[in-house]
Structure 1
């Protein structure tokens, strides 16, 4: 009875945890539907022969577990409430001096300009605010505190600082903030799930002072708490790799051995993602599972060499117990982060199941592992690694007997297979099993991959078959051997490390070649929770295809999966409404127009970017996918400043717009802008330079018009003269959208001089009147004159600006006009993305950050 009920009970406990973060009415309805379906299908079928009372009691138990999950996760979703925690003693951004221990190995990074940077995690003990008076006894002014703080500075890691060392640092810290745009990875929430509620910047490495006096070359120090010893061991391994390998082999080897991907070049990461091999670089169940199989087989073979042991001890059980030791040691080297601990615990459950002769109850063992992990760390349910790990394991448990096992049995009986030599036959069977396992796992986790990454690698099963042996059976095992013998035989250890490096090098080259194959991977819009629920219901019905009801439900689910996206397209085409979305994109601008007839146009697409952060790939694209878009009809670049276009190369590649409108500026443009235009031409995108007054889009009485293109020599004067006299800002296209009874003005970065020129022409002045104004030049003092605001007379002001922009940079007239006229001013860095919907002559506004 317990075996049947435990997976269902854990599912309802997890449902309660998931329900806690339902962010919309649609999601709440789907969660409720999932609960109802789960209760009827999973419980009703199992207890169909039982009495009604037993069924009601079981349903009550499942509802109770759902509520327990909901209550259990709630405290983990918000910062700690204790007054001693540092997050409750810091308000806004403050400069503080911290004393504490280095909790993790320093992570090597690169900043937005490609310069070396370092990230430290400090477990705080004391802090000192700058207004504290002190002197020789200033240490007495420090106050006790707790909590983790993530610090970043622009320099390589300090050579004398190791995990567990006590140090003092001066930094500017605050609560972390990501980009408040739908579909975008929430970095602040990600850190919160790791109990990191504060981040900070260190101005210089000289602001870091180590307080320990032990020998820095020793990885074991009596003064260091034992909880830091695994991290110190990782640091020693990382130093060993730094001294003997070059990138990209060093970065990849660090990822495989100690779970540190910070040094893997971005291009190499993209190749692994595109070929579906990214999971090989993340230490998880696959790595731990392979080690379990390897060491279990070794111990079985060694123990069976003794007849006495075979006769007097249960060899499989002893081998299972012995296997736990090397696997646990690898988990310590890998950092004991949540994915590693999750994989270790799942392996431990399997090995304990062998000890108690319960290895056949695989689903029950998986459910037990999930239950303990969710009790220990409930927020791990929201992570992609948790969902993908358990999804893959469940897929193996279900698909093996139903599909893979049957197929391999038939292959064994095939005449073509039986005629092969035994060694060849075994190799073929292993390859077929690996390929089928990869296909089964990809089928099971496909919706999760699209939901989290909007990407499916069609070539993934083949890549996995080629890369996994190189990294996991060659490089990983040889690298672990090198780590073990390094203290005793350093020369041999280096030789082994370079030998294992050939596997890493080969895996990198394979992914680089395969990523260039057309359609190696496809990008897809984010699926709805309803679509995912229907997909898994369809899979369940296919597994029970022999039943008539299952075939009917499968047809029903398949029909809905086809109709849902088609219905969305039809609704967007025939809906008499328009939605304008101003994205929170940092210091830049990006606005999506969703117009009648399903037309979509993106105005600008730039913001804060760097070597490892592409604003187009990591903000604009996820937002478009979250809106169900896979194509754009057009892109408008108001002017060639990087904060208006540097995210567009990725957008053009992923969403293949039909047209791009540009202002035609040629003077003083950055080479990256010319590269962008060349990229668009190579992809066959039509390039258009509109003139002042041109219509860019029209549907009945609705239109998107270019009011002004200074570069075409219109009413603002000669194009070249404007560019030379006032720079690229004043060459901005000025656009106006009129749709469904509402109007929006997009003036780019024009300054007060061009504003005045627009006001000189009576016709142009009257055309400026709009309901919503995207303030020129991000609300800066160089623009936004009182006369211009009066002519536009907006009901809403939208300022697209970054969080680091000081209040003094904004034009005071904006705040004065907002207060005097009762006009709402929305700054994207505070309100998050802002959405306006015009329908039936009514304009409604919605903010992503509801607490603004």
Structure 2
């Protein structure tokens, strides 16, 4: 205990930071406990103990204070609401409103959708004349280019349809609503045309934000100049590197950088700020050394470091003041102040101080991927690089030119390896992806971007004020390196198996990974410290656990069949996990915007959350995009054995591309005939009412959507404990035909036909199926069309439980010993629970 207290005292700032983080992480468990009074009492006792020179007691009490402080601050930020009641009411009704406000920041425009932040001051419904005051931030989405005449700080009037952002309704998925709330965004406004946006001539802002608008106008000016001066992709990359705007980088290029493991270069962070700080320091130091008077009276290095802070702060604001660059500036501030005051004890202490400041200001940043990646990368570089250089046999820096070059090369390799080791668990947890070529790619691409393109870019920024032609020349020279970096990124990402997609590691594996890594690097004295080989072996086992999680193995021994209807909006996505380990997906699509892929954003994260890396079967009911447009992303990220289709060609380019992609990946394309087409260990999938004797390659072309829907697959799942019918988008005509089909249609559960539409779900068909639970997969927030009133009436009259994904979120049905259990997940929690009786259906 004394050794532990001594270590804690020697690294007090680090311990307090870790305890603050632990308190934030455990805030939900302490949410119902009033913490203010215990915190004040412990703080008083700690101060008393310190004043009476009882340091041990003071340290223990102080540690307890920081743990409670973290939980208290976390709960305070968690409960903040930025949505006024009037705006919430209009957003819930998806009403059309007129908004008057100021453009708050640089508009993000990817060529398909423009996204603009608006500080709204007044609003009114289109049916009224009176403007109402408000103070709220809105995110406007325009499926067109933003008017060039409206710049940040300008007042505008816009007509938009308000809606609330999608809430977190898929376990393991990204909670977009929470993300926007943390950005201060209350609601989303959809604008159908630039003609609905009009500038308003007013006096400059006098609300204290004028400086921020000016910086955003500078960002917009630099971005427009880069766009006009350089060709793509150099213009988009320079916008990302210099002003923090990645919206104009093409999606395929972003994918190339991610696939080659160098995507971090595109996000302004500590590396960019450190490079800029180095150049500013060298320039200021050179200028100050021109004066003999200053050299004799001042510490030039310390003064130069302190004078670097204002330019770095300006660049932080110029880069959009995004969380990663703000954290990097805070870290730089701590390091500079510590060096200038001769109080730099250890790099880790400085890093802990920066983390403490960030977490105290914004406790929920602990959950951000960028926070975890940036701090784990820096900590790993501090701890691992010296040991790696020693093991790699790096020569002394004072040796020959060749020795220096070798030292720099080995240093770059060591930094890349250290950052990879430190960030690997978080990369897999948040992004489920690791690059196998990242070390080689970083050695080539980082010098091109950081030591060439960024150098010329940083020099061009201030030169634009003095000589625009000279600045443009520097940007052109820098763009050559960006073009070479793009070619290198595309090459590395095209190498087979350059990226590995893996399920999310469990938190306990991540905790063991970091625990054994830290103990291995800095073993404590005693028996444990003398067992470094054993600790290294345990660390390697945890590393293997990251790449080969035990969840898929455990899933193969599961005892319950499980059906999950994912909340994908207006579309379908159903995951079926069976007792023998088979994973089957029925449909995977959504009616969404051009820049959103439900397969990559919704379905894949849930599969990884469930520890699934392979899909045995994907069944597509028919060729509507809202049933299949997420499947291509799944074929990219998962091993798929078979793709079951109703027909090969429906005359739709997207569907034809899906079939071609499946063939390229050697996925077997199958066409189920009438009757059982998948069967094992008591379960079976039955194609209901499908024509028999179909040719090996089934082609069907028809432009009549109703006919296409009725030609889709109708699938019945039967297990020993539950049965469920998946009719796709069939209409009442096909429903009538199924009443006389040879195959059974009776089931305990049913996914409502055509998302609960009035053109489907005829009472006679529903009576024949006789489900206990009806589930509607729809994104109709108003509930006017999906589900239809007739379907609601049927459920009420027949004592059938009606669940909708728009109201209940993701719906999970799990078999039990005497039937099945139904649960629903929305707003980050399980909100509904029900059950059904055992009623295994015997085929007729």
Q: Is TM more than 0.5 here?
A: yes
1:404 and 2:400 matched: no
Q: Give the one of 420, 432, 441 matched to 1:442.
A: 420
Find the aligned partners of 2:648 and 2:541 in 1 and give their Cα distance. 50
Which of 715, 728, 737 is residue 708 of structure 2 equivalent to?
Answer: 728
Partner of 1:200: 189
Q: CA deviation at 1:213?
A: 5.4
For the residues of structure 1 that align with 2:381 and 2:567, how far apart are their CA atoms?
41
SS at match of 1:733: coil
User: In the alignment, which of 459, 473, 491 is matched to residue 481 of structure 1?
Assistant: 459
Alignment correspondent of 2:4: none
8 A contact 1:86–1:146 mirrored in 2: no
* Correspondences of 1:84-163 after superposition (within 5 Å): 86-87=87-88, 91-111=92-112, 117-132=113-128, 134=129, 141-163=130-152
Note if contact 1:604-1:635 (Cα within 8 Å) is conserved in structure 2: yes
Question: Quick check: 1:663 aligned with 2:646?
Answer: yes
Partner of 2:475: 497
The question of whether the paired residues in 1 share the 8 Å contact of 2:436 and 2:500 is answered with yes
Q: Distance in 1 between matches of 2:77 and 2:95?
A: 25
Counterpart mapping for 1:306-321 below 5 A: 308-321=293-306
For the residues of structure 1 that align with 2:54 and 2:310, how far apart are their CA atoms?
Answer: 47
Q: Deviations for 1:117-148, whole angstroms, at most 9, x for unmatched residues?
A: 3221111222223343x4xxxxxx33322121
Select the residue among 791, 795, 801 that pairs with 2:778: 801
1:757 aligns with 2:737: yes
Q: TM-score, normalization: structure 2?
A: 0.88
How far off is 1:781 after superposition? Answer: 1.7
Q: Deviations over 1:391-437 (max 9, x none)?
A: 11111222234x135347x4326xxx99xx82222122111101101
Distance 2:655 2:550 in 1: 38
Distance 1:502 1:178 in 2: 43
Alpha carbons of structure 1 residues 721 and 196: separation in structure 2 relative to 1, 3 Å: closer
- Calculate the aligned-residue CA RMSD, in Å: 3.1
**Structure 1 724/185 Cα, relative in aligned 2: closer, same or farther at 3 Å?**
closer
Tell me the SS of whatever aligns to 1:727. Answer: helix
1:510-529, Cα deviation, whole Å (9 max, x unpaired): 10111111221211101111
d(CA) in 2 for partners of 1:703 and 1:480?
A: 63
Contact 1:303/1:315 (<8 A) preserved:
yes
C-alpha distance in structure 1 between counterparts of 2:379 and 2:543, whole Å:
23
Q: What is the Cα deviation at residue 104 of structure 1?
A: 0.2
3-state DSSP of counterpart to 1:164: coil
Q: Is the 8 A contact 1:591 1:604 kept in 2?
A: yes
| 1:636 matches 2:619 | yes
> TM-score, length-normalised on structure 1?
0.87
Preserved contact between residue 316 and residue 354 of structure 1 (Cα < 8 Å): no
Inter-partner Cα distance in structure 2 for 1:440 and 1:725: 55
- Post-superposition shift, 1:562? 6.1
Equivalences for residues 448-847 of structure 1 within 5 A: 448-544=426-522, 547-548=529-530, 551-552=533-534, 555=537, 568-609=551-592, 611-664=594-647, 666=649, 668-699=650-681, 701-710=682-691, 727-761=707-741, 763-764=742-743, 767-803=744-780, 807-847=784-824
How far apart, CA to CA, are the structure 2 residues paired with 1:502 and 1:722? 50
Distance 2:775 2:207 in 1: 58
User: Aligned in 2, Cα 1:101/1:651: closer, same or farther, shift over 3 Å?
Assistant: same
1:176 aligns with 2:165: yes
In the TM superposition, residue 97 of structure 1 has moved relative to its aligned partner by: 2.1
Deviation of the 1:89 alpha carbon: 7.7
Asked whether the 8 Å contact 1:482–1:496 carries over to 2, the reply is yes
**Map of 1:298-377 to 2, 5 A cutoff?**
298-304=283-289, 308-377=293-362
- 1:244 to 1:88, Cα distance in 2 relative to 1, 3 A: same
Structure 1 unmatched runs, 5+: 25-51, 112-116, 135-140
Q: How many residues are aligned here? A: 795
Partner residue, 1:137: none
The residue number in structure 1 matching 2:47 is none
Q: Please state whether the residue corresponding to 2:186 is helix, strand or coil.
A: strand
- Matching of residue 13 in structure 1 with residue 13 in structure 2: no
- Deviation string 1:440-463 (CA, Å, 9 cap, x unpaired) is 011011000011111011211222
**Is the counterpart of residue 232 in structure 1 residue 217 in structure 2?**
yes
Could you tell me which of 154, 163, 169 is aligned with 1:165?
Answer: 154
Tell me if structure 1 keeps the 8 A contact 2:731–2:759.
Answer: yes
SS at 2:803's partner residue? strand
Is residue 170 of structure 2 the alignment partner of residue 187 of structure 1?
Answer: no
> Alpha-carbon deviation of 1:288?
0.3
Contact 2:621 2:645 in 1 (8 A): yes
Q: Tell me the alpha carbon deviations over residues 62-88 of structure 1, each in whole angstroms, 9 at most, x when there is no partner.
A: 233222112212232245279688558
CA distance in 1, matches of 2:30, 2:230: 46
What per-residue deviation string (whole Å, max 9, x for no partner) do you get for residues 587-643 of structure 1?
Answer: 221111100111111111122355532222222211111110111111112222222
Q: Which residue of 1 aligns with 2:78?
A: 77
Indicate the residue corresponding to 1:40 in structure 2.
none
Post-superposition shift, 1:544?
A: 3.8
Structure 2, unmatched stretches of 5+, are 1-7, 32-52, 833-844
Residues in 1 aligned to 2:773 and 2:543: alpha-carbon distance in whole angstroms: 39
**Residues of 2 paired with 1:495 and 1:317: CA distance?**
34
Using the alignment, how far apart are the partners of 1:160 and 1:364 within structure 2? 48
Deviates more, 1:656-665 or 1:440-449: 656-665
- Secondary structure (helix, strand or coil) at the match of 1:412 reads coil
